Structure 1
Amino acid sequence: MQSPQARKVADVPTVAVGEKSSDLGPVQNYLVRFGYLSSPEDEPAAAATRAAFTNAAQLPGPFEPGVLDDPTSQALAAFQRFNAIAVSGEFDEATRDAMSQSRCGVPDVGSGLAFATLCAWGKRDLTFAFDVGTDDIAGDGERQAVRNAFRTWSAATAMSFTEVPLRPGSVDIVIGWRPAADPDHDMRGDVLAHADFPPDCGVVTGRSLPKPVHFDDEEHQWSVGAAQGAFDVESVALHEIGHMLGLLHTDVAGAVMFPRIAPSSVNRALAPDDINGIGQLYPPFWSNWFSLGGALTGDPAVGVNRDGRLEVFIRDGNGAMVHNWQTSPGGGWHGWYPMEGGFTGNPAVGRNHDGRLEVFARGARDWLYHNWQTSPNGGWHGWYPMEGPVTSDPAVGVNQDGRLEIFARGTDGGLYHNWQTSPGGGWHGWYPMEGGFTGNPAVGRNH
């Protein structure tokens, strides 16, 4: 089911750069409304909404109405890039199809590619309430769909959402179904729903509460699940709550925060792009420090077993290496266990191509020694010399083909490296990289 405004865009014939068309108005209006094009005749409320999360000074315009001029072509090119359409700067069939789809009322142009964030709430516990529902869905179905959307976001971030009765001054977010000409944000045309942003960056109610999540109940049909010509409440609610939490639109198709959704479809699962965005706004909480016990000396090194369990290595008071590991991924710890040896430096850990951990440390005669798991997540081979001498703690990197490579400073102050001749295999031997260094090395891997 197409909205009246979407139908107007769908009726516009293709237009090339420089051409005039009396039908081009809906296209230019769309580009202005959703943050791609500036107009000197913007009504103040729409201009203020876009200015809150777009840089109006960088938008092309003003434009000549009814002409696909340079500003309009630049705006079309930006829309095409955002929507993964071949960039022509013309109003072609693919662009018309994309613009004819129903969508969120928030503009698209944010602070960069993929997810973009605006601001966050200053608290982690939010309340919500419902006012007017929709007659499209029987019983409490639309409300339950919104509750499910809140649960999805809560599972992905350190936020909680509590439903409360609707009382003035007692709620953070109010959800309801409205006429298309909603006074706080006009949804007439191709807009399915709208929300506001957190108080510090709100564009509808500013810092005032409650914040709205409103659905257009006049021009669109609503459903629970995929239904012919209707829009799934939970999918749209999931998107609008993302705005309420501070996320802008993404250009990653299939993500919840992508601005468009087709009728008769569902999108109820957060994509990695959505999760990365919300994690930037609301980093996970940390527990308090908890002792792992032991009389230890030096700095630890941590590896990740193939099954996801962390394993930590450190010297004890006698210079022997000890290790401790999680008994399940993300779970509790086994306790310290000796790996023997007498070491004078801090360990480094790498993971072999097949998932076996391998640990390195400086020991007797300042030689480097290594010890490796005999199978992924399994037992240990025992220490074996890599010769030397070395005068620094080692650093380990993993090559693109899975071969470990280790770096350490020699007695002459030069940096030396040694590498596996095949993934998980034997070692080449130390080779100089020259230079005069006084500290420990570190390793990173480029793209």
Structure 2
Amino acid sequence: MIKPQPHQLIILAFLLSFSHTNVVVSARLFPNVSSFLPAHAPLGGAWDAFRNLTGCHRGENYDGLANLKSYFERFGYFPHAPPSNFSDEFDDALESAIKTYQKNFNLNVTGVLDDATLQQIVLPRCGVADIINGTTTMNAGKQNETASFSKPRFHTVAHFALFPGNPRWPEGTEELTYAFNPGNDLSNTVKGVFASAFARWAEVTSLTFRETASYFNADIRIGFFSGDHGDGEPFDGSLGTLAHAFSPTNGRFHLDADEDWVVSGDVTQSALSSAVDLESVAVHEIGHLLGLGHSSVEEAVMFPTISSRRKKVVLAQDDIEGIQFLYGSNPNFNGSTVTSAPERDTSDGGRCLTCVGSSWSVFTLLTFSTLYFTLL
């Protein structure tokens, strides 16, 4: 039997790795949804059942509180509690979590599940946690208030916040490339929405963004996925967590393929009650990719939640101050935002592999190469 050459093993391992990590997912993308459902269709979301908890307060047991505790744990408000231990008791820990949540979202701090609090909780939102390692990026983190979980790790300036350790793309970075998961087979129209989202950040900073066809070599890798997709942050269906992105220099940007994404047209006039504006979510997640955490400023694109049938793409002053703190200002920025599409590179070559690539891919390649060689 002829032994394969080392370069053949690497190619085989690459193909195996690609096939296991890039399952084809058909995202729900609508250019115009006005004809799909009648007007005022009932709105249903992943967390709608929480509406039944209105009025719940400390000292009682209520069916469904265990699920609410899991929600708070997911977004950092119960950082040390194992989900298996959650009960339906409205205990001191839940009251404390609710108060921290209410402060973060500019609500009356009562510790009670009032109507306004639950209306905020059930909104679609970003999957990135509000509190990381016990420290919130939002209102409750100001003046080094940390919800009594651990020592402060978030650096806050004005209202905006940065991730722990203040990660950013390396000093001197002028251009970042981005690419789309080939398994999604996105149209040029959909890709153009992301180009516009990147352009909004490029208008106010020294960074530029360029599309490349080389997915594994790109600085930023974008894909639509359903449910558990291997990064420890599973999606939950319509109108739950819409998307999530990782801090620099990870580069992963994932969107829930089960959402009803509106690509163009006036999303605010959509007859589809679950319609989500793609560009609005893209602009928010790009902020995370560049190093911004969540903001308590409701007008900011870095605010964690967004209602269905709403468009929110214009950077607020808080967003601009945050990104310019990290990367400086675009010398051509005059204080207003005008979107222009960045350069697209659809060649197969793209850029050379950067240090931020994906270490898991190298490990997978080595593992498959070793396994294949052993079996020969």
The equivalences for 1:159-174 within 5 A come to 159-168=207-216, 170-174=217-221
**Does the Cα contact within 8 Å between 2:69 and 2:86 map onto a contact in 1?**
no
Indicate which of 87, 92, 112 corresponds to 1:65.
87
CA distance in 2, matches of 1:196, 1:280: 19
1:130 counterpart letter in structure 2: F
Q: Using CA pairs under 8 Å that are at least 6 residues apart, name the structure with larger relative contact order, 1 or 2.
A: 2
Partner of 1:101: 123
Distance 2:64 2:262 in 1: 31
Deviation at 1:87, TM superposition (A): 1.2
User: How do 1:173-322 residues align onto structure 2 when only pairs under 5 Å count?
Assistant: 173-184=220-231, 185-188=233-236, 190-199=240-249, 202=250, 211-224=251-264, 225-226=266-267, 227=270, 228-229=272-273, 230-284=275-329
Distance 2:260 2:56 in 1: 29
Give the corresponding residue for 2:174.
Answer: 124
User: Contact conserved, 1:134 with 1:217, CA < 8 A, in 2?
Assistant: no
Determine whether 1:23 maps to 2:64: yes
Change (3 A) 1:242 1:133: farther
CA 1:42/1:198 → structure 2, altered by over 3 Å: closer, same or farther?
Answer: farther
Mapped to 2, the partners of 1:24 and 1:159 lie a distance apart of 45
Tell me which residue corresponds to 2:109: 87
Tell me the equivalent position of 1:74.
96
**Structure label with greater radius of gyration:** 1
Checking the alignment, whether the CA contact within 8 Å between 1:149 and 1:237 is kept in structure 2 is yes
The one-letter code sitting in structure 2 at the alignment partner of 1:151 is A
Aligned to 2:55: 14
- The answer on whether the counterparts of 1:3 and 1:220 sit within 8 Å (CA) in structure 2 is no
Contact 2:73 2:79 in 1 (8 A): yes
Which letter does structure 2 place at the counterpart of 1:67?
A: E
Contact 1:16–1:91 (Cα < 8 Å) also in 2: yes
- 2:70–2:83 contact (8 Å) kept in structure 1: no
**Is the helix fraction higher in 1 or 2?**
2
Call closer, same or farther: CA 1:134–1:95 in 2, change over 3 Å.
farther
Give the number of equivalent residue pairs: 256
CA distance in 2: counterparts of 1:167 and 1:221, whole angstroms: 22
In structure 2, give the amino acid aligned to 1:183: G
Offset at 1:271? 0.1
- Give the Cα–Cα distance (whole angstroms) in 1 for the partners of residues 184 and 300 of structure 2: 26
Question: CA, structure 1 residues 268+64, in 2 after alignment: closer, same or farther (shift >3 Å)?
Answer: closer
- Deviations, residues 255-306 of structure 1 (Å, cap 9, x unaligned): 10000011111011000000011111112489xxxxxxxxxxxxxxxxxxxx
Counterpart CA distance in 1 for 2:59 and 2:259 is: 34
- Cα distance change of structure 1 residues 285 and 86 upon mapping to structure 2, 3 Å threshold: closer
Query: Which amino acid is the alignment partner of residue 98 of structure 1?
Result: Q
In structure 2, what residue type is equivalent to 1:140?
N
Residue 133 of structure 1: how far off its partner (Å):
7.8
Query: 8 Å contact 2:198–2:283 — kept in the other structure?
Result: yes
Question: Which of 137, 140, 148 pairs up with 2:188?
Answer: 140
User: CA–CA distance in 2 between the matches of 1:133 and 1:232?
Assistant: 22
Aligned to 2:11: none
Distance 1:195 1:2 in 2: 26
Give the Cα–Cα distance (whole angstroms) in 1 for the partners of residues 324 and 235 of structure 2.
Answer: 30
Q: How far 1:222 moved relative to its partner?
A: 3.6
Residue 28 of structure 1 aligns to a residue in which SS?
A: helix
C-alpha contact 2:245 2:286 (8 A) present in aligned 1:
yes
- 2: CA distance between counterparts of 1:259 and 1:11? 23
Residues 248 and 232 of structure 1, relative CA distance in 2, 3 Å threshold: same
Q: Please state how far the C-alpha of 1:4 moved relative to its aligned partner.
A: 4.9
Aligned counterparts of 1:70 and 1:252: Cα–Cα separation in 2: 28
Distance apart, 1:186 and its partner CA:
1.0
Segments of structure 1 that go 5 or more residues without pairing to the other structure are 44-62, 203-210, 287-307, 309-447
The alpha carbon displacement at 1:31 in A equals 0.9
Q: Which structure has more strand as a fraction of its residues?
A: 1
Partner of residue 152, structure 1:
200
Deviations 1:175-197 (A, max 9, x none): 12111322212121510001111
**C-alpha separation between the residues in 2 aligned to 1:2 and 1:277?**
34
1:412-436: per-residue Cα shift (whole Å, max 9, x none)? xxxxxxxxxxxxxxxxxxxxxxxxx
Which residue of the partner structure matches residue 408 of structure 1? none
Root-mean-square deviation (CA, aligned residues, Å) is 2.6
